[in-house]
Structure 1
């Protein structure tokens, strides 16, 4: 496994993503398997590497709310200010997809788990490439990798590149905005109290 860094190898990383390669990478939470979320072969490879149930979605990272809209992720008007204010943050949000969204076909879903990560190098990478899928770097059911060494142990040469960096064992908080009311599906790096407070503050200003 070749070790890269965002500081020294940004252009190499960019070209690898655009060519359909999958890399282990630090995110704003755990190490993830990152690749082009618009490349069906890369998506299928990520599922195979992780031995992941096809019914379990992959988190997709964006660099802005505008980029979310560009790719057909629907943001309900009542939540748009909340999302614009809280992101970038370690908060993953499930949102519906418009009919024209490429992700409806790529992932065979009507909704998508998305995040604008609180990790600037990833946002910069997305701004120069495409939205990135970023499930945790592990075999399904195993502890997420926290280093390039652990990524290598899991994937044993099947992932050729790893970006060196820091990670945390704490996952992102998972919030669903596809129902009639917000629903927190997993508490993680952002507390339930913080999310409730920010949602309430946005509503009170209207």
Structure 2
């Protein structure tokens, strides 16, 4: 069932979470599929509905800072600085977990990924449920993340208890995941630019490859449409291709027309914030357009461009040939 995210329906959603049910809800990044993070049976439903592998840990969402002390064993000075600056917001911190966090949430790891979303509906839902909420993106595992209630309804509508419709997610890519277990390390670039983190705690390591999955979004293939995706660098590359039955994902608008079966433009003026906000919606539309292939243009890898390119590479696997 899909409902508008008003006070009455948020209260209903909170009661569903308390009873062990699943609720899709908006955050500032993407729509999440939420369950009571302290109820392993409820969390198990997330994995079943998404067909998500059990080795892929979940992020725990909180609405009040006092939950942080209950969920973790250690909160160091770096974590406190980042929390003060960026919470609520699109930053997930990986910290040593406490015993109250079920192993199914963390895939058996001794660490837990936690964030405090800034979206008012998400915060109100967590408050109403009176428990931290585990919530990966509300879509089948590996597919394009949802940034509208329409995306959720098309993919999971008949499999979950409730969808809270809070409109389009403003940031449009998942949170940035930063591990503070040892050396500060970016496990997943996302909605908070890495440059902003480095202004607070100094240089951070960016993990490019790992044999062990320490956070969501680390698999090499992820965020993928059903249609094959190929990345290209310059517009000249694509003009030389036979693209009559192709979809084109452009970073910005050009003075000339790019002819293809379906064209999406992330930002007419080439703004990375706008491009990130539109990325997943554009990929959804391209995937539904009946094209044989999606050609996606590279964006500058600064700010949110790092997160955009991370998603495009995991959707494609390789550059255009």
State the TM-score bracket (shorter-chain normalisation). 0.7 to 0.9
Conserved in 2, the CA contact under 8 Å of 1:31 and 1:145?
A: yes
Conserved in 2, the CA contact under 8 Å of 1:17 and 1:35?
A: yes
Cα distance between partner residues in 2 of 1:198 and 1:78: 8
Match of 2:88 in 1: 88
Q: Which structure has more helix as a fraction of its residues?
A: 1
Aligned-pair distance for 1:146?
Answer: 2.4
Match of 1:164 in 2: 165
2:140 aligned with 1:139, yes or no?
Answer: yes
Cα distance between partner residues in 2 of 1:156 and 1:82: 36
More moved, 135-144 vs 123-132: 123-132
Aligned-pair distance for 1:106?
Answer: 4.6
Aligned-pair distance for 1:33?
Answer: 0.2
Cα distance between partner residues in 2 of 1:174 and 1:71: 17
- Length-normalised TM-score, structure 1: 0.87
Distance 1:140 1:123, change over 3 A: same
Question: 2:200 is paired with a residue of what secondary structure?
Answer: helix
2:184 aligned with 1:186, yes or no?
Answer: no
Match of 1:35 in 2: 35
Aligned-pair distance for 1:104?
Answer: 4.8
Aligned-pair distance for 1:121?
Answer: 2.9
Conserved in 2, the CA contact under 8 Å of 1:24 and 1:34?
A: yes
Q: Which has the larger radius of gyration?
A: 2
How many residue pairs match? The answer is 197
Aligned-pair distance for 1:149?
Answer: 2.4
Conserved in 2, the CA contact under 8 Å of 1:96 and 1:112?
A: yes
Aligned-pair distance for 1:7?
Answer: 3.4
Conserved in 1, the CA contact under 8 Å of 2:54 and 2:104?
A: no
Distance 1:198 1:34, change over 3 A: same
More moved, 149-158 vs 134-143: 149-158
RMSD (Å) for aligned C-alpha atoms: 1.8
Match of 2:231 in 1: none
- Length-normalised TM-score, structure 2: 0.57
Conserved in 1, the CA contact under 8 Å of 2:72 and 2:95?
A: no
Aligned-pair distance for 1:120?
Answer: 2.6
Distance 1:120 1:74, change over 3 A: farther
| Higher relative contact order (CA closer than 8 Å, sequence separation 6+) | 1
Aligned pairs for 1:1-206 within 5 A: 1-98=1-98, 101-107=99-105, 108-128=108-128, 129-165=130-166, 166-167=168-169, 168-179=171-182, 181-200=183-202
Conserved in 1, the CA contact under 8 Å of 2:90 and 2:175?
A: yes
- Output one character per residue of 1:13-59: Cα deviation in whole Å (capped at 9) or x when no partner: 22111111101111121011011101111100001111111111011
Question: 1:53 is paired with a residue of what secondary structure?
Answer: coil
Aligned-pair distance for 1:70?
Answer: 2.0
